[in-house]
Amino acid sequence: MDIVLSADQVSCGYEERLVLERISFDLHRGEMLGVIGPNGSGKSTLIRALTRILSLESGSVWVGSEDITSFSLRRLAQTIAVIPQQANIPFAFSAFELVMMGRLPHLKRFRRERPEDVDIVWEAMRRTDCLQFCDRPIYELSGGERQRVIIARALAQQPGILLLDEPTSYLDLNHQIEVFDLLRHLCAHDGMAMLCVSHDLNLAAEYCDRLMMIDKGRVFAVGTPEEILTGPHIQEVFGAEVTVIRSPNTGSPQIILNPRHAVATLQPAL
């Protein structure tokens, strides 16, 4: 598979504190790479580094054969879209207006949207099940509905690379499955490359081609879900004892927590 994004020995952080140290990995066309690790391990910081929001202390990020620092912001937005964990939307835009903002990198300055831009927005909203509230102000939507609109906005950018930071954290179970099914379809049929930060190890195992486990700002291991999601790995990185089983439907590894406390058995009164 073609490498569309790569990080080479990336180190970065905030002020004088390094958060990521010598991170290296490749992302391939049509692949979903899951990024997992404990809180504070640097997962969200990695997305900021890959989009130039955060300057690198050392190392480099490449899109294809080009250093990302050579990209204009407009070209970068045409190439990479980001779905944040929680979007800050200060004005009362309608859902349709917010998704239309995904077309801005493709519009010339001072030019209005074209009919084809409108068609792309409608299709993005249809795919994310947003059409029924397209005219409603964004502040009236639930957290899950708002997140689906944010995903639609990213799809409207028509990027080749999608970076996702906990994309289903506000969604119910049904919409979590629908969103990840859609993401897998985009990988398989559109050739989109995705890097997905997730706290849900079971969802990551079910949908991601490979997993990159990060611990204390460094890559702990990269490989298939079967290679990464083992009891010893999770014990060492997360400090939790788990039982790993196989999904009866797909065979993917699934994590069952082993509680630290003993459950008291209630005895019937005599």
What per-residue confidence (pLDDT) applies to 171?
A: 83
What per-residue confidence (pLDDT) applies to 172?
A: 86
Q: Taking a C-beta distance cutoff of 8 angstroms, is the pair 179, 193 a contact? A: no
Low-confidence ranges of the chain (pLDDT < 70): 1, 90, 110, 261-270
Would you say the C-alpha torsion 247, 253, 170, 31 has a positive or negative sign? negative
User: In whole angstroms, what separates CA 128 from the centre of its chain?
Assistant: 15
What per-residue confidence (pLDDT) applies to 203?
A: 95
Q: Where are the domains of the chain?
A: 3-224
What per-residue confidence (pLDDT) applies to 224?
A: 97
What per-residue confidence (pLDDT) applies to 263?
A: 47
Q: Taking a C-beta distance cutoff of 8 angstroms, is the pair 238, 249 a contact? A: no
The predicted-structure confidence for 39-86, as pLDDT tens digits, reads as follows 999 999 999 999 999 999 999 999 999 999 999 999 999 999 999 877
Tokens 């859609």 label which residue? 182
Q: In Å, how far are 251, 266 from 269, measured between CA atoms?
A: 44, 9
| CATH number of this structure's domain 3-224 | 3.40.50.300
Strand order in the sheet with 66-67: 17-28, 3-14, 58-63, 66-67
